[in-house]
């Protein structure tokens, strides 16, 4: 089909260049829209929540310059410097125009994929105009360019970069990256100095934008060197080879200098290893096997071979496992052949060397996780170019000598495109919702602790199926992981389940295990202390918090809970300071506002207390306990109208049938301050017609069970640091 279109375009009725580009763009747009048509409603997944859904800097209310500027600092880890700013800006605009509806996000991701595919097409066309190809190639440039872009765009391995919303960082980086390549090639072909300078400036701008989407785009200068010495220079000349070596050395020095600026020292890229279960050498050895796996997935991308996670045994040496040495030799051989073919087979040389050059950041020694399929999105941009050129040569050869073989080849090309597209459509079905995605991942990676953890999280958080979740958590704990967080998070969530069930002793033990596994995990200290307060062990809770507050003096949860403990010790004046610190960190923390009101009540400042109760109500308008506190406060001032109003609100929020149950729960869970309902109880009883006589008082409010106890391993930046994928 593509060959027939190409032949038609070469006929005397052949339209101009822009018309041909328009036809190519239409073909790519229709194809990509069809194969990704079932992905528009795919749910949020994994790192989407932290980076987009719950990222406050992304949820903008206007598009004023000052508001858009804040999105440049939208790192979920709270970094004070710009971080992937171009990608985060695009997420912010999505949020502004479409809220949290996934359709808009997927539409933009697919549009970026179309744009990148089209840029591949026009870049390959320009490569055929370079000196080294123009004088030796007799290929149909239009056909080769369009087939290259089509096979790349339809390949199922790209689904992780396109359908996984947060990986827009990857796809946008690739889009600007190849745009920079295109500008460079056109600049080198241009004769007018002004045009050249403008295009070189455009290349630099694209480079900057690409890095502002994802850091692996920093390798563009190396790719430009490949373009220059493969397509514009004759590397048979010894002087050209010397120049290439000099430029490579200069680039290496520049990269080391940039690394020093970015990380604080030239070896800052190793910072992630203290939290990894492998060494830099082990990662390098393992990545030789991973790269061979990537190549096999690219050329044989059936959906059953694709997964969000993969079971990968870390290579301890070249012989353990035994596949390490053959993989290492395959990689070295391909790189060697790529260098050898620079003067004789430029298309093949460029495709091979471009692939490995652009895996240098994510597939060598930097302390990232071992395997992610979206890492191939950029390196594979030109991998089908020699394939397309070979098919073109065969089709033209048999077109005049063997019609049957010609038709078989053309049919084969169509079948290949349809097969790739069908595989992409099938793979996208797995991304429909999180439960389906993690069930698929666990089936394909049964030895992954994270796959167990994430599926268990779905059972626990989304379905309330505690038994199924516990089974998966405990089974996952028997497995190894790629970083120390994975075991810690599973222990945390097991503790959370027992906490939710009221099994506080078991929860306490598992949170102690989580802290022992990873002592820097601040959430575990807070949750352990919270559990100890539920057990009435207030002194232990104070000791637990003391162990983390000095290291994490601005954690609002720890500050608030420490204030509650001080209230229990009848030290409201000191507690007020902790509640104020918590509110300073998080002005919308309704519980700190409420407890600040309680503290002022204890010190006799009833009007101040009322003001903070009102502020808490504004942040949490449906919270019944706040209405009780407001009613009690107004009761002290004999403001009957306000008391009746607050009690009506309390009963409306709880429901008349559930008032007694609610008050029993409050009495059971809030124990530190005597908050007498002696005056309110008859009023409540009169309103609902029944209140049993065994309720004499309601104790001081104590913190409710936080909604964020269970965690996905992608739900907190502290568990995903030192990974340029943010995963």
Q: What is the pLDDT of residues 192-248, one digit of tens each?
A: 999 999 999 999 999 999 999 998 999 999 999 999 989 988 777 777 777 877 877
Q: Which one has a higher pLDDT value, 699 or 100?
A: 100
Average pLDDT over residues 479-489: 82
Cα distance between residue 165 and residue 102, in whole Å = 8
Cα distance between residue 328 and residue 318, in whole Å = 8
Q: Is the pLDDT of residue 693 over 60?
A: no
Which SS3 state, helix, strand or coil, does residue 698 take?
strand
Residue 37's domain comprises 2-44+100-235+272-424
Residue 579 belongs to a domain: no
Q: With both helix axes pointing from N to C terminus, report the angle between 346-357 and 220-227 in degrees, rounded to the nearest 10.
A: 170
Residue by residue, DSSP assigns 573-639 as HHHHHHHHHHHHH-TT-HHHHHHHHHHHHHTT-HHHHHHHHHHHHHH-TT-HHHHHHHHHHHHHTT-
Q: What is the pLDDT confidence band of residue 156, given thresholds at 50, 70 and 90? A: very high
Q: What is the pLDDT confidence band of residue 401, given thresholds at 50, 70 and 90? A: confident
Nearest to 333 by CA among 322, 325, 343: 325
Question: What's the chain's average pLDDT?
Answer: 85
Residue by residue, DSSP assigns 510-547 as HHHHHHHH-TT-HHHHHHHHHHHHHTT-HHHHHHHHHH
Cα distance between residue 698 and residue 654, in whole Å = 16
Q: Which one has a higher pLDDT value, 725 or 503?
A: 503
Q: What is the pLDDT confidence band of residue 523, given thresholds at 50, 70 and 90? A: confident
Q: Which one has a higher pLDDT value, 167 or 701?
A: 167
Structurally, how many domains does the chain consist of?
1
The pLDDT score that the predictor gives to residue 690 is 53
The pair of structure tokens assigned to 385 is: 């170019």
Q: Is the pLDDT of residue 671 over 60?
A: no
Q: How many CB atoms lie within 10 A of CB 239?
A: 9
Q: Is the pLDDT of residue 481 over 80?
A: no
Cα distance between residue 121 and residue 147, in whole Å = 8
Residue 488 has what DSSP assignment? Answer: H
Cα distance between residue 261 and residue 259, in whole Å = 5
Q: How many CB atoms lie within 10 A of CB 388?
A: 26
The pair of structure tokens assigned to 686 is: 């009169």
Residue 189 belongs to a domain: yes
C-alpha distances out from residue 334 to 281, 313, 349, Å: 21, 23, 9
pLDDT digits (tens, 9 = 90+) for 604-642: 899 999 999 999 999 998 888 899 889 888 888 888 899
The pair of structure tokens assigned to 264 is: 């604080």
- Is the separation of the CB atoms in 590 and 625 below 8 Å? no
Q: What is the number of alpha carbons within 13 Å of residue 612 lying toward its C-beta?
A: 22
Q: Which one has a higher pLDDT value, 699 or 171?
A: 171
Cα distance between residue 389 and residue 257, in whole Å = 39
Q: What is the number of alpha carbons within 13 Å of residue 662 lying toward its C-beta?
A: 16
- The rounded radius of gyration (Å) of the Cα atoms in the chain is 31
Cα distance between residue 151 and residue 424, in whole Å = 11
Angle (nearest 5°) at CA 662 between 660 and 663:
65
Q: Is the pLDDT of residue 696 over 70?
A: no
Residue 230 belongs to a domain: yes
Q: Which one has a higher pLDDT value, 696 or 500?
A: 500
Strand pairing of 698-699 and 674-675? Answer: antiparallel
With pLDDT > 70 as the criterion, what percentage of the chain qualifies? 87
Q: Which one has a higher pLDDT value, 511 or 252?
A: 511
- Is the separation of the CB atoms in 613 and 591 below 8 Å? no
H or E element that contains 21: helix 17-35
Q: What is the number of alpha carbons within 13 Å of residue 192 lying toward its C-beta?
A: 4
The two counts, helices (H) then strands (E), for the chain are: 33, 2
Residue spans of alpha helices (H) in 314-433: 324-340, 346-357, 385-401, 403-430
C-alpha distances out from residue 699 to 588, 668, 673, Å: 25, 8, 6
Instruction: Classify burial at 573, counting beta carbons within 10 Å of its beta carbon; exposed 0-12, middle 13-18, buried 19 or more.
Output: exposed
C-alpha distances out from residue 177 to 29, 115, 208, 379, 510, Å: 20, 12, 9, 11, 47
Cα distance between residue 375 and residue 359, in whole Å = 8
Residue 689 belongs to a domain: no
Residue 288 belongs to a domain: yes
Backbone angles phi, psi at 698, to 5 degrees: -120, 130
Residue 369 has what DSSP assignment? Answer: -
Q: What is the pLDDT confidence band of residue 727, given thresholds at 50, 70 and 90? A: very low
E strand intervals along 444-511: none
Cα distance between residue 353 and residue 383, in whole Å = 10
Which SS3 state, helix, strand or coil, does residue 383 take?
coil
Q: What is the pLDDT confidence band of residue 670, given thresholds at 50, 70 and 90? A: low
Angle (nearest 5°) at CA 355 between 423 and 29:
45
Residue 111 belongs to a domain: yes
Residue 366 belongs to a domain: yes
| Cα end-to-end span (Å), the chain | 40
Q: What is the pLDDT confidence band of residue 720, given thresholds at 50, 70 and 90? A: very low
pTM: 0.82
Q: Which residues pair with 674 in a beta bridge?
A: 699
Residue with tokens 């104020």: 580
Average pLDDT over residues 151-176: 97
Q: How many CB atoms lie within 10 A of CB 653?
A: 16
Q: What is the number of alpha carbons within 13 Å of residue 623 lying toward its C-beta?
A: 22
pLDDT digits (tens, 9 = 90+) for 190-204: 999 999 999 999 999
Q: What is the pLDDT confidence band of residue 710, given thresholds at 50, 70 and 90? A: low
Cα distance between residue 226 and residue 34, in whole Å = 34
Residue 25 belongs to a domain: yes
Instruction: Classify burial at 85, counting beta carbons within 10 Å of its beta carbon; exposed 0-12, middle 13-18, buried 19 or more.
Output: buried
The pLDDT score that the predictor gives to residue 652 is 87
pLDDT digits (tens, 9 = 90+) for 5-49: 344 434 444 456 678 899 999 999 999 999 999 999 999 998 899
The pLDDT score that the predictor gives to residue 260 is 60
Nearest to 182 by CA among 151, 155, 143, 220: 220
């Amino acid at each position: 089909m593509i060959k027939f279109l190409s032949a038609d375009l070469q006929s005397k009725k052949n339209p101009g260049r822009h018309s041909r580009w328009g036809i190519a763009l239409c073909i790519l747009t229709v194809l990509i829209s069809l194969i990704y048509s079932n992905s528009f409603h795919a749910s949020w997944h994994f790192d989407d929540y932290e980076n987009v859904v719950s990222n406050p800097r992304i949820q903008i209310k206007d598009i004023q310059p000052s508001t858009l500027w804040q999105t440049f600092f939208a790192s979920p880890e709270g970094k004070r410097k710009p971080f992937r700013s171009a990608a985060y800006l695009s997420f912010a605009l999505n949020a502004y125009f479409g809220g949290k509806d996934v359709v808009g996000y997927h539409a933009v991701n697919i549009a970026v994929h179309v744009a990148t595919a089209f840029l591949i097409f026009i870049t390959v066309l320009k490569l055929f105009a370079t000196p080294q190809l123009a004088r030796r190639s007799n290929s149909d440039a239009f056909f080769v360019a369009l087939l290259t872009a089509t096979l790349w765009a339809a390949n199922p391995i790209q689904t992780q970069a396109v359908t996984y919303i947060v990986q827009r960082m990857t796809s946008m980086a690739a889009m600007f990256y190849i745009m920079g390549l295109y500008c460079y090639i056109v600049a080198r072909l241009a004769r007018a100095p002004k045009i050249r300078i403008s295009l070189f400036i455009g290349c630099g701008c694209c480079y900057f934008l690409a890095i502002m989407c994802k850091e692996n785009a920093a390798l563009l200068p190396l790719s430009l060197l490949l373009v220059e010495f493969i397509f514009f220079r004759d590397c048979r000349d010894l002087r050209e080879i010397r120049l290439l070596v000099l430029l490579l050395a200069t680039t290496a020095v520049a990269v080391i200098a940039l690394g020093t600026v970015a990380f604080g020292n030239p070896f800052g890229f190793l910072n992630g290893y203290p939290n990894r279960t492998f060494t830099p050498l082990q990662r390098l050895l393992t990545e030789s096997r991973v790269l061979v796996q990537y190549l096999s997935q690219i050329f044989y991308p059936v959906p059953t071979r694709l997964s969000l996670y993969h079971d990968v045994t870390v290579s301890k040496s070249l012989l353990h496992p035994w596949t390490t040495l053959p993989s290492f030799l395959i990689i070295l051989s391909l790189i060697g052949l790529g260098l050898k073919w620079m003067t004789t087979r430029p298309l093949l040389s460029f495709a091979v060397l471009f692939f490995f050059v652009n895996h240098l950041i994510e597939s060598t020694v930097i302390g990232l996780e071992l395997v992610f399929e979206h890492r191939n999105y950029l390196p594979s941009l030109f991998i089908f170019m020699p394939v397309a050129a070979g098919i073109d040569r065969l089709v033209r050869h048999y077109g005049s000598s063997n019609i049957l073989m010609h038709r078989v080849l053309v049919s084969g090309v169509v079948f290949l495109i349809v097969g790739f597209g069908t595989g992409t459509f099938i793979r996208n079905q797995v991304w429909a919702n999180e439960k389906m995605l993690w069930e698929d991942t666990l089936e394909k990676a049964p030895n992954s602790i994270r796959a167990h953890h994430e599926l268990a999280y779905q059972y626990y958080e989304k379905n309330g199926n505690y038994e199924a979740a516990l089974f998966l958590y405990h089974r996952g704990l028997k497995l190894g992981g790629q970083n120390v967080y994975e075991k810690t998070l599973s222990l945390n969530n097991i503790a959370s389940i027992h906490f939710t069930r009221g099994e506080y002793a078991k929860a306490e033990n598992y949170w102690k295990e989580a802290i022992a596994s990873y002592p820097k995990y601040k959430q575990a200290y807070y949750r352990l202390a919270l559990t100890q307060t539920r057990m009435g062990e207030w002194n232990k809770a104070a000791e637990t918090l003391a162990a983390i507050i000095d290291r994490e003096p601005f954690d609002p949860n720890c500050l608030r809970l420490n204030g509650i403990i001080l209230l229990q010790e009848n030290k409201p004046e000191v507690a007020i300071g902790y509640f104020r610190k918590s509110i300073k960190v998080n002005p919308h923390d309704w519980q700190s506002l409420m407890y600040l009101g309680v503290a002022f009540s204890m010190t006799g400042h009833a009007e101040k207390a009322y003001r903070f109760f009102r502020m808490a109500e504004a942040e949490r308008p449906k919270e019944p306990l706040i209405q009780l506190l407001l009613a009690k406060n107004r009761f002290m001032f004999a403001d009957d109208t306000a008391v009746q109003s607050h009690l009506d609100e309390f009963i409306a929020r709880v429901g008349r049938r559930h008032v007694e149950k609610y008050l029993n729960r409050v009495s059971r869970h809030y124990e530190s301050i005597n908050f007498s309902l002696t005056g309110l109880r008859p009023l409540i009883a009169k309103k609902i017609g029944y209140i049993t006589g065994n309720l004499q008082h309601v104790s001081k409010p104590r913190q409710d069970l936080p909604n964020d106890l269970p965690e996905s391993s992608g739900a907190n930046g502290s568990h995903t640091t030192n990974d340029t994928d943010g995963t």
